[in-house]
């Protein structure tokens, strides 16, 4: 078996026709789909229900066109990141298992693994208990993907719970405290804690102390892309890497954007995936070989960008998540000549402070 990976655009908030067409055209079977990572057009906040609408639409297609029972289809990892600010385009990247009839490659090729963690309690978020639970899930997802060497892991996408008033009050009723009582801030904290779990699992860092979580910005993962929402109470983990013996025509690589203007970080990730690019690459050099790029970003906490003062963190009208997502979306979209790129915010402990990880999937034939 090999992994086939394709990108489809969402023409409306609940449009899954792109997925349906891939199945109808025989690119892969509905029963072969193993994961979906996408962007929806909502506000990207706690109450962004466009994620749920897209999720329902994609699962319905898999039910209508496949043979798997509902209990299996509902367990397929679908990580939806809300918010397509600026030029960003709502889209989804679909991963599916297919029969590989081609000649075996001597190089590792794309592999995907999936796992759900133990239940993450409200009082775990932002604390070492969550780090440990996420790390354990990452290790199981690696094993499912057939990846033994952490160096072969290039992208780990998680979806974790955040705090809302109901779960905050639940923790209090049981005699526990929570990291924060601000639901929006808990999104950032949940993402960051999950990233540290990924970093621990892959040996990028040692186990952090409670005091370091959310504060020591020297601790980060270079392959973590973490999202959170209200729709689950576990860490849903998708590990994407290159495995020896895996079939297919795709490879993945990664690097980091050191800041919001680091367009070269995108090209470094593409090179790392196996595409030969000139020293000063441009989108014309990509041809039709790039499937998609996946980027995390954040407004620099110092409010400086290459020495210039930034004001998005002081904006009381538009949240800085919206500012930076639109800005980095423009930078990355220009780098690859495509607005349908995965750019997600709240990058605490994901890549260097003020920057973020970049993963790229390419068709190497």
21 is catalytic: no
Q: What is the DSSP code string of 241-254?
A: EEETT-BSSEEEEE
Q: How far apart are CA 63 and CA 61, in angstroms?
A: 5
Any bridge partners for residue 8, and if so which?
A: 92
Q: What is the DSSP code string of 295-352?
A: EE----TTSEETTEE--GGG-SSS-HHHHHHHHHHHHHHHHHT-S--EEE---TTBSS
Residues ≥6 apart with Cβ < 8 Å to 281: 264, 267, 270, 271
Q: How far apart are CA 343 and CA 341, in angstroms?
A: 6
Asked if 46 and 162 count as a contact pair (C-beta separation under 8 A), the reply is: yes
Q: How far apart are CA 57 and CA 197, in angstroms?
A: 31
For the stretch 260-274, what's the b/e string if a residue is b when 16 or more beta carbons lie within 10 angstroms of its beta carbon? bebbebbbbbbbbbb
Residue 6 CB neighbours (<10 A): 17
Burial of 232 (0-12, 13-18, 19+ CB in 10 A): middle
Choose, from 225, 227, 344, 353, the residue flagged as catalytic. Answer: 227
74 is catalytic: no
Per-state percent for the chain, helix, strand, coil, to nearest 5: 30, 25, 40
Tell me which residues are annotated as active site: 159, 227
């Amino acid at each position: 078996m090999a992994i086939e990976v394709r990108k489809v655009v969402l023409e409306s908030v609940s449009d899954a026709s792109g997925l349906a067409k891939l199945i109808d055209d025989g690119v892969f079977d509905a029963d072969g789909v193993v994961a979906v990572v996408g962007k929806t057009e909502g506000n990207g906040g706690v109450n962004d229900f466009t994620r749920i609408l897209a999720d329902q639409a994609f699962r319905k297609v898999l039910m209508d066109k496949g043979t798997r029972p509902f209990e299996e289809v509902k367990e397929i990892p679908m990580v939806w990141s809300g918010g397509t600010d600026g030029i960003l385009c709502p889209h989804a990247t679909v991963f599916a298992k297919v029969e590989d009839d081609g000649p075996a490659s001597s190089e590792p090729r794309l592999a995907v693994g999936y796992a759900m963690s133990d239940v993450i309690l409200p009082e775990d978020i932002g604390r070492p208990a969550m780090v440990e639970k996420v790390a354990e899930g990452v290790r199981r997802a690696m094993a499912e993907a057939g990846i033994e060497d952490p160096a072969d892991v290039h992208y780990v996408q998680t979806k974790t719970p955040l705090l809302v008033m109901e779960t905050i009050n639940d923790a209090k009723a049981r005699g526990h405290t929570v990291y924060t009582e601000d639901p929006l801030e808990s999104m950032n904290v949940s993402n960051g804690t999950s990233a540290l779990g990924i970093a621990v699992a892959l040996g990028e860092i040692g186990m952090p102390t409670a005091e370091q979580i959310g504060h020591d910005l020297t601790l980060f993962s270079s392959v973590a892309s973490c999202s959170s929402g209200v729709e689950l109470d576990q860490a849903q983990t998708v590990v994407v890497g290159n495995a020896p013996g895996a079939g297919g025509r795709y490879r993945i690589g990664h690097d980091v954007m050191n800041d919001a203007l680091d367009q070269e970080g995108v090209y470094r990730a593409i090179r790392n995936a196996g595409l030969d690019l000139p020293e000063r690459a441009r989108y014309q050099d990509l041809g039709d070989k790039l499937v998609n790029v996946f980027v995390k970003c954040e407004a620099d906490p110092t409010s400086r960008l290459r020495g210039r003062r930034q004001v998005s963190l002081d904006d009381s009208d538009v949240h800085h998540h919206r500012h930076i997502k639109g800005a980095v979306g423009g930078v990355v979209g220009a780098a690859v000549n495509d607005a349908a790129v995965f750019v997600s915010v709240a990058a605490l402990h994901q890549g260097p402070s003020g920057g973020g990880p970049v993963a790229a999937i390419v068709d190497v034939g």
